[in-house]
Structure 1
Amino acid sequence: MLEIEGLRKRYGGTVALDGCTFTVAPKRLVGLLGPNGAGKTTLMRCLLGLVVPDGGEVRWLGAPLDGDRGRRFGYMPEERGLYPSMRVAEQVRYFAMLSGLPSAAAAEATTGVLHRVGASDLSERRVEELSHGNQQRIQLAVALVHDPEILVLDEPFAGLDPLGVDQFGALLLDLAADGTTVLFSSHQLDLVQHLCQDIVTIDRGRVVLAGELEQLQRATAHRRVTVVFAEPSTTAWTTGLPNITVERADDRHVQLRLEADSDPDHVLRAARTAGSVLRFDYEPPSLEELFREAVGR
């Protein structure tokens, strides 16, 4: 268990972290969310020991993290941290040795991690010759080559095509299932909702929403209903329905906001008075809605 307790950091008059507190459990993918400038980068740098917080503590397995963080953490920065002209295997092996592995162990670990990220056939290629997606694979290989206990990724899906996103996401799920503690930041909320069991949302240096995504959705006071009609219709059928707001509508689609105690069967019966219903979806709020409510804008 990775525990972040009351982290504070100020840069002059700017408060970057203001008592940031949450936990990251093993075998879970945890999405770190927040608007630009919320404090996510400062938080990650504190976890990695690159920034010393003004207060608070980071604990791993119940004990404060010591100075040997490089062996415990794997880090994948948003900006590319690779040497463009180096060959892939040489580069991964170099970073393995920087992490403390002796030469022979570094070579063995390099072979294994390139196979794991699906990049064995790229070992003799130069990084500058690779596509963006394959460069992401090598960046992840560098983060994993020393077999870290905790993996911190900053916008790992940025710039990937849909196939690359699927492959990268599957790999992260496998890593978490094998016991690696995985925390990644992303602005792609639909992707976070698809992959992550837990989320942490930071705004102005404070945690404003944290926990298991399904529980957070169940705890909200409203639901969404989307109705699709076979033929053009109006929203007149919604008049008089209690605790319901029309959020969006065109001639065949209507999106409603319902309070949690509203009866969806009552809404469906009313919709059928207006025409043939092709689709009726009753859902909790999306992660994007939770995010917008949590940050208040």
Structure 2
Amino acid sequence: MKRLEIDGISKRYGDVIALADMTFDVRAGEIFGFVGSNGAGKTTTMRIILGVLASDGGQVRWDGTAITTDTRRNIGYMPEERGLYPRMRVGEQLVYLARLHGMSQANATAAMREWTDRLGVAARRDDEVQKLSLGNQQRVQLAAALVHDPEILVLDEPFSGLDPVAVDVMSQVLRDKAAHGVPVMFSSHQLDLVERICDRVGIVRSGSMVANGTVNELRSGGEERIIVTVPQARTGWADDLPGVRVLSQENGRTSIELAAGADDQAVLRAALETGPLHEFARQRPSLTELFRDIVSVNGESEGEKA
């Protein structure tokens, strides 16, 4: 199976380490969520994959071979910053970009029509990009990444600024491309969306991959939590239970984190002693909660974007 491999990539800017042994892969037919705080190294990694930046060490490979200029022609890239010509018409621009990737005029025009239809901007083909709303510019930007039928998709914040309908359209496009064997890699700060559509997720901190796996694998590594609802419970009823950390308590609903080996039955007994029990449910941390735990350093998030 073909894979996009990022193997030990490093990058420095003077004394600033942007990437340090960045290593992961994106497999054919999967959607890979690439997440991290601003400044963690996501955009730098993507630019190195595309050859916009040169790494100081490590290698990017596609199907086991070092990536080349010819390989990069088959990558669909969507930068976070607008990469379109603002005064050029939408349809004309997409055909032009497809032609740069080697498509014939007829095939480029057909692909432009297909993707503007699919992404809901067919009525804007004759408009200049600068006259579109930010959401429609984002749709055209994705069309530009797709118009040449790429083998690999690398997308930097593709869902930024989109309304819920457009998010659904883009999500389905990514699923369809993955279903046809394309490895799809995208960064996003919308972690609920990442959790919903990604096959695997990589979490980056300080230029390195610090967690990588399916959402369920990542969540299973977190501390076990229990939600207990006892409407008549007194405040602090669980504070002194061994191995228990009370995360929140409001209106009779208490969220508890259990340390390894802690007795959940002791929690249940203590809850029953406070009154009628309405809920006692196990809960794994969400991706958003895991992200906060993993990327925080002394409770503070990292710096600006790299």
TM-score by length of 1: 0.90
Amino acid at match of 2:41: G
1:139-288 aligned at under 5 Å gives the runs 139-220=141-222, 222-229=223-230, 231=231, 233-239=233-239, 241-262=241-262, 264=264, 267-288=267-288
> Aligned equivalents of 1:154 and 1:8: distance in 2?
19
Identity fraction in percent: 46
Quote the offset at 1:147 in angstroms: 0.7
Contact 1:224 1:284 in 2 (8 A): yes
Q: Which runs of 4+ in 1 moved over 3 A?
A: 239-242, 260-270, 275-281
> Aligned equivalents of 2:169 and 2:271: distance in 1?
41
TM-score by length of 2: 0.88
1:122-137 aligned at under 5 Å gives the runs 122-137=124-139
Q: Which residue of 2 aligns with 1:102?
A: 104
> Aligned equivalents of 1:5 and 1:62: distance in 2?
11
* Count of residue pairs the alignment pairs up: 295
Equivalent position SS for 1:10: strand
Q: Which residue of 1 aligns with 2:69?
A: 67
Please list the CA deviations of residues 161-191 of structure 1 after superposition, one character each: whole Å capped at 9, or x if unmatched: 2332223222222222222211111122222
> Could you list the runs of 5+ residues in structure 1 that have no partner in the other structure?
none
Q: Aligned pair 1:7/2:9, yes or no?
A: yes
> Aligned equivalents of 2:25 and 2:175: distance in 1?
19
Amino acid at match of 1:288: T
Contact 1:264 1:282 in 2 (8 A): no
RMSD: 2.1
Contact 1:155 1:184 in 2 (8 A): yes
Equivalent position SS for 1:207: strand
Quote the offset at 1:131 in angstroms: 2.5
> Aligned equivalents of 1:56 and 1:146: distance in 2?
28
Quote the offset at 1:280 in angstroms: 3.9
Quote the offset at 1:264 in angstroms: 4.5
Contact 2:119 2:169 in 1 (8 A): no
| Alignment CA distance shift 1:239-1:16 (3 Å) | closer
Quote the offset at 1:285 in angstroms: 1.8
